A and B are shown apart, each in its own frame.
Chain A
Amino acid sequence: MNELSMVYGMGLAALLFLLGFIGVVIRRNTLFVLMCLEIMINAAGLAFIVAGARWSSPDGNTMFILIIAVAAAEAAIGLGLLLQLQKRFRTIDIDAASEMHG
């Protein structure tokens, strides 16, 4: 892969990451926060593929598959927690669950 397309690839990954990050910070709806986290993880996956292509090594693709699996596991737990949040607090607003502080 030549230098130019690598810059594009990394640029896209950075953009996706930023998009996800902003979403995590400003969104209050837990479902959207989970989606934004997925976008961030996918940005990391894309960056892995670009980095793997730079070194012409299959490691990048291996890691991408791994990250997809990991993201799925994490999303499953996140959605499970989301369901419980909805059951206990009757809302999925992140700020609702703040009985503990200090």
Chain B
Amino acid sequence: MPIGDVLPEISVLVSAVVLLLAASFMRQQDHWRLAIGALASLFAAAVLCALQLGEPARLTFAGVWALDGASIWARLLILATTAICVALTPEWLRSDRRHGEYYAMLLLAALGAMLLAGAADLLQLVMAVLLSSVTGYTLAAYHRAWPLSVEAGMKYFLVGALTNTLLMIGVTLLFGLFGSTDYAQIAKAATGAPQIMALIGLTLVVVGVAFKLAAVPAHTWMPDVSEGAPPPAAAFLTVAPKIGAAIALARLVTIFPADVVAWRPLVATLAVATMTIGNLGALGQSDVRRLLGWSSISQSGYALMAVTAVGLNAQAIPALLFFLGAYAAANLAAFAAVTQLRGRTNLADYRGLATARPGIAAVLVVSFLSLVGIPPLGGFVGKLALFVTTIEAGYAWLAVIAVINTVVSLVYYLRVLGPVYFGDLDGPVPVLGGWAQKALYLATLLTIGLGILAEPLWSELGRVMLLP
């Protein structure tokens, strides 16, 4: 177990602790400097992570930690997401007394998501889910003087605490059945297992991971968090844990032989329920942040399609990674626009935005169209890859439902864009400026770039493996 296998994680952990200590000794006015420290440490971790790309895929630390293409790309994606979220923060929290601590908390939450992506042991999975959850509750309730933020944190916590307990019970059941928490060992033992108990255990674990993914049945926190949490934190919580959880789920379900434990119908059902409920919830929304929360739920449903196809189609994991990347860029751009607009959330306040702030209006168009999946943006390639993969895996009906959902989703995205371009402006539109603006344009460029550079990226992702 060479310690070098977890160097990116160690560097994130150490810098989180250093930032926390620094925040306690620095003057509040200087806390924005810690954002530079956080960005530097994220960059260092990304370099360390990228160095692992050249190495052969393997399991390390006695089979607990998977070092394969899926985990490395997912962790790089999480680090990039966190960097954009860090850049969104300094102006937003300028007057907050606990400004500096925010970066430490953000890095620890990113660490939890990274651990999720590499988890190859049930115990590691529990630790990762919990680390990313407890930090997530704090991030959601960071504006503790603002009732909505506290409410979002409390709702997030209650759903989280309940599903985490179910996750632990599921892990107990699987451990009791198979005598090990190691994925490779479970895969060996699972062939002759009592099916119904294994399915119950797996279902409970899947519910626990679905909480991080904001998938049905543990999706209820997402709209509240994206409305009530500070927008930079909401940007993070709607993206980073999802990337880790999607890979963790794919890794988990594939250890069970599909003919013994029927997990494919389970995941397919969750996918349909998640994308449909997410879209129905978004349809009537008059609150943009809440709408983004519901749309984020429906995007999780699309991601679950790829998980259904894992093991049937070698392209499932590359498709999942590409989709997650495109989703991350587009969703971050959307939340960056909300942050840049100082968190304005009522749909009526978006009227005539294009006259006052044409740049931000254009960003909203790009990010929403990418979330729908319009060419040539990143979201189009991601969704196309997902649909093709799912159809080739023999789940054509799932792809059809996803296409119908995509068409429906166009309605509520256009409901926002309509007033932005054709409404009458009333009152000035103050913006945040500074770092937030740079993060906004970076996320937008990534959304467009992922679409244009799809081919070289796709051939790179095509070699990705998923262990065990």
Q: Determine if chain A interacts with chain B.
A: yes
CB distance from B141 to the nearest CB of A (A): 6
Q: Check if B150 sits within 8 Å of A73, measured CB to CB.
A: no
CB distance from B401 to the nearest CB of A (A): 24
Contact with A along B158-201 (1 / 0, CB 8 A): 10011011001101110110011100000000000000000000
B358 within 8 A of A: no
CA distance A70 to B152 in the complex (A): 22
Stretch in contact with the other chain, from B45-53, B130-138, B383-391, B444-452: B130-138
Chain A positions near chain B (C-beta within 8 angstroms): 10, 17, 20, 24, 30, 33-34, 37, 40-41, 43-44, 47-48, 50-52, 54-55, 57, 59-60, 62-63, 66-67, 70, 73-74, 77-78, 81-82, 84-85, 88-89, 94, 97-100, 102
Q: Check if A100 sits within 8 Å of B176, measured CB to CB.
A: no
Main secondary structure of the interface of B (DSSP, over half): helix
If A89-B147, A97-B151, A100-B224 touch, does A77 touch B137 (CB 8 Å cutoff)?
yes
Contact partners of B227 in chain A: CB under 8 A: 100
Q: A66-B123, A100-B290, A102-B285 are in contact. List 16 more A-B contacts (CB 8 A).
A: A10-B176, A34-B161, A44-B168, A47-B169, A48-B172, A50-B176, A51-B172, A63-B123, A70-B126, A77-B137, A78-B161, A85-B151, A88-B144, A88-B145, A88-B150, A100-B151
**What are 12 A-B residue pairs whose CB atoms fall within 8 Å in the complex?**
A10-B176, A30-B154, A47-B172, A54-B176, A66-B126, A70-B126, A70-B127, A77-B134, A78-B161, A81-B153, A81-B157, A100-B151
CB distance from B383 to the nearest CB of A (A): 27
Contact partners of A74 in chain B: CB under 8 A: 130, 133-134, 161, 164
Contact partners of A52 in chain B: CB under 8 A: 175
CA distance A102 to B226 in the complex (A): 13
B228 within 8 A of A: yes
A57, A78, A94: which has the most chain B beta carbons within 10 Å? A78
B284 within 8 A of A: yes
Q: B172's closest neighbor in chain A, by CB?
A: A47
CA distance A30 to B155 in the complex (A): 11
B93 within 8 A of A: no
Q: Check if A40 sits within 8 Å of B151, measured CB to CB.
A: no
Contact with A along B113-131 (1 / 0, CB 8 A): 0000000000100110010
CB distance from A97 to the nearest CB of B (A): 4
CB distance from A62 to the nearest CB of B (A): 8
Q: How many residues of B contact A (CB 8 A)?
A: 44
Contact partners of A34 in chain B: CB under 8 A: 161
If A67-B168, A78-B161, A99-B148 touch, does A57 touch B123 (CB 8 Å cutoff)?
no
Contact partners of A37 in chain B: CB under 8 A: 161-162, 165
Chain B positions near chain A (C-beta within 8 angstroms): 123, 126-127, 130, 133-134, 137-138, 141, 144-148, 150-155, 157-158, 161-162, 164-165, 168-169, 171-173, 175-176, 179-181, 223-224, 227-228, 284-285, 287, 290
CB-CB nearest 6 A-B residue pairs: A51-B176, A44-B168, A55-B179, A47-B172, A97-B151, A88-B147
CA distance A57 to B182 in the complex (A): 13
Partner of A78, one of B157, B223, B228, B285: B157
Q: Check if B150 sits within 8 Å of A17, measured CB to CB.
A: no
Contact partners of B284 in chain A: CB under 8 A: 102
Contact partners of B164 in chain A: CB under 8 A: 74
Partner of B157, one of A48, A77, A102: A77
Q: B174's closest neighbor in chain A, by CB?
A: A51
Contact partners of A88 in chain B: CB under 8 A: 144-147, 150
CB distance from A21 to the nearest CB of B (A): 8
CB distance from A42 to the nearest CB of B (A): 10
Q: B170's closest neighbor in chain A, by CB?
A: A44
CA distance A100 to B228 in the complex (A): 8
Q: A47's closest neighbor in chain B, by CB?
A: B172
Q: Check if A98 sits within 8 Å of B137, measured CB to CB.
A: no
Q: Check if B150 sits within 8 Å of A85, measured CB to CB.
A: yes
